[in-house]
A and B are shown apart, each in its own frame.
Chain A
Amino acid sequence: MTITTSLKDRVALVTGASRGIGAAIADMLGEQGATVIGTSTSEAGADKISQRFADKGITGTGRVLDVTSADSVASLLEGIKAEFGAPTILVNNAGITKDNLLMRMKDDEWASVLETNLTAVYRVSKACLRDMTKARWGRIINISSVVGSMGNAGQSNYAATKAGVAGFGRSLAAEVGSRGITVNTVAPGFIDTDMTKVLPEAQREALMGKIPLGRLGAPEEIASVVAFLASEAGGYVTGETIHVNGGMYMA
């Protein structure tokens, strides 16, 4: 049995691909040979993705997507199918944080984080599933967080969505396994991105002391796990949550 990590002839959709972990994932899938559509909430972000792909010789494009809008998802997929063919690799990466202590949390802070981080995963996965079942092949990879497993004060909304995504993934994996579709969750720990740069220095120091590997992770170290799951090499892994956190939390 020959097993390959090549993604040649695959079309991959990566949400939230203009920076951070999503950008690294989109680039790595492209470097493995996939045609990649990376999304951003803004026109400028989408252009940045297209430019990055062009610079790196990756086939694909940046597109604008509002993951909270069913119409936006539908029109994006229509466009992708017409231009590149239906995506059979989906990476639900787009996510936001609106941290607050629960007693101070506004309804909007709760609702918007749920909408973008959890409901959007349902929405985009559903939109892609029809073509994956037809193809009898598919990969759905949801980006969660270590916070979904270990919890973090001030992030009850974010943690609820990240734990939710893992449960969603296990159920969907059971549902569509018979069609050759795998569904997995990748849970990054403390990764060097814009999202973690905003943390106060003292909190960063404290976190660092809890990481056996003694350093932040690089976005590429998340991307390589996603690329593995997306390839034939990861074909027998499904319904799983893979923690990538330098040992900060061992499940």
Chain B
Amino acid sequence: MSSIEERVKKIVAEQLGVKEEDVKPEASFVEDLGADSLDTVELVMALEEEFETEIPDEEAEKITTVQLAIDYIKENLG
């Protein structure tokens, strides 16, 4: 089983159409990885499916970087 970090990075790469090596922890979805607002909504939906959880909208809005996504998953599912 892959680690949470690996799983999150894989999803980000798939959803945003970027290379996995570019998905660095500090990378911002919008500023560094070229996501638009709809991409970020889809990304959260993909994370919800991968980790079988529901991320409330007010929490989802705060997930703006790869690390924040990893942190959220760890805190809420760890």
Residues of A within 8 A of B (CB): 130, 133, 175-176, 178-179
Contact = CB atoms under 8 A, between A and B. Distances in A.
A133 B39 CA distance: 10
A175 B38 contact: yes
A150 to B, nearest CB: 34
A130 B45 contact: yes
Given A133-B42, A178-B36, 6 more contacts: A130-B45, A133-B38, A175-B38, A176-B38, A178-B38, A179-B38
Nearest to B42: A133
8 contacts: A130-B45, A133-B38, A133-B42, A175-B38, A176-B38, A178-B36, A178-B38, A179-B38
A27 B38 CA distance: 34
Contacts of B38: 133, 175-176, 178-179
| Shortest beta-carbon contacts, A-B, top 5 | A133-B42, A130-B45, A178-B38, A175-B38, A176-B38
Interface in B28-57: 36, 38, 42, 45
Indicate the size class of the contact surface on chain B. Answer: under 10
Nearest to A130: B45
Interface string B42-77: 100100000000000000000000000000000000
A133 B45 CA distance: 11
B43 to A, nearest CB: 11
A179 B39 CA distance: 10
Contacts of A179: 38
A178 B16 CA distance: 13
Contacts of A133: 38, 42
B39 to A, nearest CB: 9
A178 to B, nearest CB: 7
A192 to B, nearest CB: 41
A176 B39 CA distance: 10
A210 B39 CA distance: 48
A232 to B, nearest CB: 23
A130 B42 CA distance: 8
A175 B36 CA distance: 11
A173 to B, nearest CB: 13
